[in-house]
Amino acid sequence: MQAPMPTPEQISTVDLASWTVVPSQSNPDKDERGPWAVTAGDGEQYSLYFEIADTAYPRQVAEFIVEAVQAHATQLRLSSAFDDVLHERERLRAHPAGADLYELGRGRVVAMMAQLGKLAAEAYETAPAPERAAQERRIYAEVTQLAAQAVSWMEAIHARYGIDT
């Protein structure tokens, strides 16, 4: 019996780092031209399993799928993070003290490093299970703010010195 294709909902619930390519159950000898499977999930029971069989190079097709899905998901996460930084940068610039964002004074750098140190310490402290999601959201918001400040300083350097990238 052939397994059904996974739905987007199933795919989005599985840790992308766990995606791998394995010989299918009907290919115990790991024949390159035999069926191969894309799997994901932890443990003996995969959360996601589908076979690639009717092609000249099933293993390469399966590897391509895994690499493409991981690259696409990475790009989506990165794009989302950059969008959040841009939104925070605009929010900070709209604040009355927003013009100061472009000034890279010693006090600002020291404050940023101190904030980064606190975040690093907090990130390594495991919060009780009911508080973990709130802790992650708080850390993410603070990292986003630091990144927005860093981007503003980069813009200021570009403006002052005409650095081309």
CA–CA gap between residue 37 and residue 117 (Å, rounded):
44
Q: Answer yes or no: are the C-beta atoms of 156 and 164 closer than 8 Å.
A: no
What band does 23 get if pLDDT is binned at 50, 70 and 90?
A: very high
CA–CA gap between residue 12 and residue 3 (Å, rounded):
18
Query: At 40, which amino acid appears?
Result: A
The DSSP secondary-structure symbol of 18 reads G
Look at 81 and 104; give whichever has higher pLDDT.
81
The DSSP secondary-structure symbol of 11 reads H
What band does 1 get if pLDDT is binned at 50, 70 and 90?
A: very low
Question: In the predicted model, what is the mean pLDDT of the chain?
Answer: 84
CA–CA gap between residue 37 and residue 25 (Å, rounded):
8
Look at 42 and 20; give whichever has higher pLDDT.
20
Look at 23 and 74; give whichever has higher pLDDT.
23
Give the three-class secondary structure for 21: strand
For β-strands 48-52 and 36-40, DSSP reports them as: antiparallel
Question: How would you classify residue 30: left for phi > 0, otherwise alpha for psi between -120 and 50, otherwise beta?
Answer: left
> For the CA atoms of the chain, what is the radius of gyration?
23
Beta strand segments in 19-100, E: 20-23, 36-40, 48-52
Overall average pLDDT of the 46-63 stretch: 90
Q: Answer yes or no: are the C-beta atoms of 14 and 48 closer than 8 Å.
A: yes
Q: What pTM was computed for the model?
A: 0.68
| Domain residue limits, the chain | 8-69, 95-160
